[in-house]
Amino acid sequence: MNKPVRKAVFPAAGLGTRFLPATKVIPKEMLALVDKPIIQYGVEEAIASGIEDIIFVTGRGKGAMEDHFDRSPELDAMLERRGKQELLAVSRGVAAMARILSVRQQEPLGLGHAVLCAKDLVGDEPFAVILPDDVIDAQPPCLKQMIGVFEEKGGSVLATMTIEGPGISAYGVLAGSQDRDNPRIYNCTGMVEKPKLEEAPSTQAIIGRYVLTPRVFELLEQTKPGAGGEIQLTDGVKALLKEEKVFGYTFEGKRYDAGDKFGMLQATVEFALKRPEFGEKFRAYLKELAP
């Protein structure tokens, strides 16, 4: 019987260069998707998946993320004075959402290294990793689906989606065979970080959600720099695969790359269209632009 998955690690130390100049001062995780910073979507997904502790792996200049999930006494007092009860509930709700812990990644040595920075805060239990750039609209939440697979199969689980063509080279790519009982599950036999199209072992791209056993920390400690000269999480999980079962899982839902300008625009339009307060008005506006 596996221990329950109670903690989620959010690697968030990156400089967000894909989004310059917006990210010169503001952490990319704090850019708003409609009216919430993108990291809040990941935190809400984690909480809705049963996670109790949120672990941010941060870096210099990233303090706004912790402040966002803390209480804001001046703002709350002002909202109270003005009788803005609904907004007060929003502000307090964010602060009460989760227990936030954080650790700093002092050097940008790669995603695998960022996850390793959380080793002491996670301890000896299975944990989730959420890459906040990957915003996933799914019901049940993507991580909840994956924890279900982890509990059923008893091995680490990586989220995947099918990507045909050269776009696959931006991802870690899974090798493996589809499970006979559940076509969404892949029995993983290998993985390659950012392969050339002709070297990609499949069309299953790894997306930023992982449920991992703690053994991966020891393996990451031994992982040498790989693709791009960085310590890759993919390489740590590949080492894990020699000792334990690892599964790919094609989640049900839609993923947006909110760390990319175009991906953020797509997410903005689709999330805005779903908002009851102004979705219809926004749809009419879009039709007016492109009849």
Figure out which of the listed residues 193, 204, 220, 250 binds ligand G1P, where binding follows CB under 6 A.
Answer: 193
Smallest gap, in angstroms, from Cβ of residue 275 to ligand G1P? 26
**139-141-144-149 Cα dihedral, nearest 10 degrees:** 70
Q: Which two tokens stand for residue 227?
A: 């693709």
- Closest alpha carbon to 128 in 187, 55, 57: 55
Figure out which of the listed residues 208, 226, 236, 248 binds ligand G1P, where binding follows CB under 6 A.
Answer: 208
Give whichever of 79 and 127 is closer to ligand G1P, judged by the CB atom.
127
Q: Is residue 19 at the binding interface for ligand G1P, with CB under 6 A as the rule? A: no
Figure out which of the listed residues 111, 114, 129, 130 binds ligand G1P, where binding follows CB under 6 A.
Answer: 111
Give whichever of 207 and 267 is closer to ligand G1P, judged by the CB atom.
207
Figure out which of the listed residues 65, 206, 211, 216 binds ligand G1P, where binding follows CB under 6 A.
Answer: 206
Angle of CA points 80, 85, 89, to nearest 5°: 100
Give whichever of 107 and 181 is closer to ligand G1P, judged by the CB atom.
107
User: How many other CB atoms are found less than 10 A from the CB of residue 61?
Assistant: 13
Are 39 and 133 in contact, with CB atoms under 8 Å apart? no
Give whichever of 19 and 94 is closer to ligand G1P, judged by the CB atom.
19
- Closest alpha carbon to 252 in 287, 201, 194, 207: 207
Burial class (CB in 10 A: 0-12, 13-18, 19+), 225: middle
Residue 185 has phi, psi (to 5 degrees) of -105, 135
Smallest gap, in angstroms, from Cβ of residue 187 to ligand G1P? 19
Instruction: Return d(Cα 240, Cα 216) in angstroms, integer.
Output: 6
Helices (H), the chain: 38-48, 63-68, 73-81, 85-96, 111-116, 119-122, 142-153, 215-221, 233-241, 261-273, 279-289
Region from 29-37, 64-72, 98-106, 204-212 binding ligand G1P, contact rule CB under 6 A: 204-212
Smallest gap, in angstroms, from Cβ of residue 132 to ligand G1P? 10
Q: How many residues bind ligand G1P (CB under 6 A)?
A: 13
Residues in 209-238 at the binding interface with ligand G1P, rule: CB under 6 A = 232-234
Give whichever of 159 and 272 is closer to ligand G1P, judged by the CB atom.
159
Q: Is residue 172 at the binding interface for ligand G1P, with CB under 6 A as the rule? A: yes
Q: Which two tokens stand for residue 176?
A: 């493996």
Q: Is residue 246 at the binding interface for ligand G1P, with CB under 6 A as the rule? A: no
Instruction: Give buried/exposed letters for 123-161 (b at 16+ CB in 10 A, else e).
Output: eeebbbbbbbbbbbbbeebbbbbbbebbeebebbbbbbb
Smallest gap, in angstroms, from Cβ of residue 230 to ligand G1P? 8
Figure out which of the listed residues 146, 163, 200, 207 binds ligand G1P, where binding follows CB under 6 A.
Answer: 207
Q: Is residue 131 at the binding interface for ligand G1P, with CB under 6 A as the rule? A: yes
Q: Is residue 160 at the binding interface for ligand G1P, with CB under 6 A as the rule? A: no
SS3 call for 38: helix
Q: Tokens 């689980």 — which residue?
A: 157
Smallest gap, in angstroms, from Cβ of residue 262 to ligand G1P? 15
> Which residues are near ligand G1P by CB under 6 A?
111, 131, 134, 171-172, 193, 205-208, 232-234
